[in-house]
Structure 1
Amino acid sequence: MTWTGFRHHEPDADGWTTFWRLDPRGQDFRLTEWTGRPHRQGDHLWARAATPAGVRGAWHTAATSVQLDIRAALGIYNRIAPVDVLLNGVLHRRCEVGDGEQQLTVDLPGREAEVEIWLPQAGAIAIREPRFDGAAEELAPTGPRWITYGSSITQCSGAYGPSETWPAVVARRHGWDGVNLGFGGECHLDPVAARTIRDLPADLISLCLGINIHGGETFNGRTLPGQVEAFVATVRQGHPETPLAVITPLPAPNREGTPNAVGLTLDDVRRLVELGARNDPAVEVIDGRDLLTADEARALYADDVHPGPEGYLLIADRLAPLLLRVAT
């Protein structure tokens, strides 16, 4: 199958495929439902996991057009992201996606080219296989496999498009086969995420940890380092020698210095995440405050926590050389 960037896919009887970034088979969704907060619905992790952030396919073709049937819904999101079509690595067309079933038609140059289709990084999405009006050869993913795990700041729902999330930009820049395991609001060191990373092939792994834990008051000062240690240890079961980086929270100027309900400031979370990560001496720790300054965050954030589109591009610029150094 030409598509990459997912853990499991489910084509139904009508040919609609959902790409899951975690494998839902045999999972009890109740394990991630309860928050103690009545205003939050359950199984947010699995709704995020069914969104194809970072999922893309590539073909070699001289066709003059390609059609893609897509079914989209807001789900728990406040937007449906677009589909990006790239020609030879350059954005060719950004297709806005609305609610419901629709057909996207994109004109192609009719000469030999590599066509990539990047699926939306936000929204509840299913697709049917693309249809080219000429011969099209499926291209398998190439380059080292890089898995990155994190929160909404890794999923990047607010990026310009799926090919311009920071994980996508870094992967494209280095020629890596990226797998985006960013789950908005749901980066809480879930065992299913650790097992997924453990069981997937990987040449580089990065874990962006802490912002959801601070906001969700998930762990306290006693439990957080051990949870980070356990997550890394599970990943290491499948990747004993793979380069691994842990990235602590980016600056959040309006939240810095404010303790959450379990008494942790963001600086506390950074320190505790680093403490747990460094139990593995081979882990590289990247301070999230090195990726954006507080002044840049104030200028580029869409709210108290989330970068806007230009912020994600700047994060990519800062992280690309750091992750390359870890990988080599």
Structure 2
Amino acid sequence: MGSDPLWTGYRYRAVDDDGWLTFWRLDPRDQPFELHDWLGRPDRPGHRLWLRAATPAGVRASWRTTATSVTLEIRNTPTIYAESAPVDFLLNGELHYRQPLDFGEQQITVPLPGSGDLEIWLPQAGAISVRTVSFTGEAEPLPPTGPRWITYGSSITQCTGANGPSETWPALVARQHGWDLVSLGLAGECHLDPIAARTIRDTPARLISLCLGINIYGGETYNGRTLPGQVEAFLRTVRDGHPHTPMVVITPLVAPTLEGKPNAVGLTLDDIRACVSLGARTLADPDLHLVDGRTILTPEEARTLYADDVHPTPDGYHLIATRLAPLLTLPL
């Protein structure tokens, strides 16, 4: 039998003529292109940002079911970026089945024990659409529960290199705390874009965290004169919709091979950390807290747990979740 999923973790969903759903984590409706025109069109303005925004990192649905199997119809479209991630099926909070994806349309059928709570976590990487979820047996969709947490950041928040979508550090933290996750990890695209600030502003939340700076360092987006003001402006836009919501700003994690190296606009990672901190402190906001990213992992841990200059391994994402979970809490 079919069961209409109560998908959560996205801002807007588009349905094409064939019934395929694309989950957008930023709202594309005021952009100067058709909803699917971003795919394979690097000439489009902000192409990579919108490609990342249409990746369903953190998007998931839950059911209480007595079915003996579930079938997910999913499409993985090739793009100019080759990465793709699997689908995770969790049963009663534990990983039950993980399925890597081929390109194209496919059906994934997973046996179930006949009783329990099922979660499907869509891939945190790739151009993914879904169509149907069907069960051999009864299944009742469950609405999202717990306070909503929005987290914004770079590839280190999108966690393309995690083992699966339920093992990104935001997913691990949200599952530990019982929170309703909205993940705005946008690989290579955390540049304080106004659309990201408006999305956070307009989405109800009980907690907001922002990991700022590593893409700005790598992309040479702002210099020492402009970066503090851009951080301040972004946070003030968010505050327009969340006057008293706790916010946590995290500066870049340690990157041992890059520390001390100026980028093309003359900023080191420590300069970026100082600029992000200055922009955040300008708000003089008692509900805004700063976390020095260098305290999350030591240089020795980073050397062991990074796959390259900045990206953690799957074990690295688990350790980041362990370190951040007690720092990301809601007031009593």
Q: C-alpha distance in 1, partners of 2:326/2:177? A: 9
Which portions of structure 1, spanning 4 or more consecutive aligned residues, are displaced by more than 6 angstroms? Answer: 38-41
Alpha-carbon RMSD: 1.7
| Map 1:45-194 → 2, pairs under 5 A | 45-111=49-115, 113-194=116-197
- Counterpart in the other structure of 2:216: 213
Equivalent-residue separation in structure 2 for 1:224 and 1:316 (angstroms): 27
SS of match in other structure, 1:3: coil
2:241 pairs with 1:238: yes
Q: Is the 8 A contact 1:204 1:327 kept in 2?
A: no
Amino acid at match of 2:49: L
Matched with 1:198 is 201
Listed one character per residue, the Cα deviations across residues 66-96 of structure 1 (whole Å, up to 9, x for unaligned) are 0011110342433210000000100000011
Q: Does 1:260 align with 2:301?
A: no
1:296 aligns with 2:301: yes
State the Cα distance separating 1:56 from its structure 2 match.
Answer: 0.2
- Secondary structure, counterpart of 1:322 in structure 2: coil
Letter in 2 for 1:257: G
Cα distance between partner residues in 1 of 2:186 and 2:111: 33
Paired residues of 1:47 and 1:76 also in contact (CA < 8 A): no
Asked if the contact 1:187/1:209 (under 8 Å) is kept, the reply is yes
- Structure 1 residue identity aligned to 2:86: P
Distance 2:313 2:45 in 1: 26
1:34-53 correspondence runs (5 A): 43-53=47-57
Q: Which moved more, 1:127-136 or 1:214-223?
A: 127-136
Q: Matched residues in 1 for 2:45 and 2:279: separation?
A: 30
Query: Shift in Å at residue 15 of structure 1?
Result: 1.3
The reply to whether residue 323 of structure 1 matches residue 328 of structure 2 is yes
* 1: CA distance, partners of 2:227 / 2:46: 23
Task: Find the residue that maps to 1:315 and give its secondary structure.
Answer: helix
Instruction: List alignment gaps of at least 5 residues for structure 1.
Output: 30-37
Question: Is contact 1:77–1:122 with CA below 8 Å preserved after alignment?
Answer: no
1:126 shift after superposition: 0.4
In structure 1, how many angstroms separate the alpha carbons of the residues matched to 2:120 and 2:16? 21
Count of residues paired in the alignment: 319
Deviation readout 1:2-43 (Å, 9 max, x if unpaired) = 1000000012221110000001101136xxxxxxxx999951
- Opposite residue 108 of structure 1, the aligned amino acid is L
What is the one-letter code of the residue matched to 1:183? L
CA distance in 1, matches of 2:81, 2:97: 23
Q: Distance in 1 between matches of 2:93 and 2:221?
A: 40
2:1 matches 1:3: no
1:327, CA displacement in angstroms? 4.6
**TM-score when normalising by structure 2:** 0.93
Cα distance in 1 between the residues matched to 2:262 and 2:325: 32
Distance 2:231 2:135 in 1: 46
Question: 2:185 & 2:219 partners in 1: Cα distance?
Answer: 16
- What residue number does 1:312 align with? 317
Identity, % of aligned pairs? 69
Give the TM-score of the pair, scaled to structure 1.
0.94
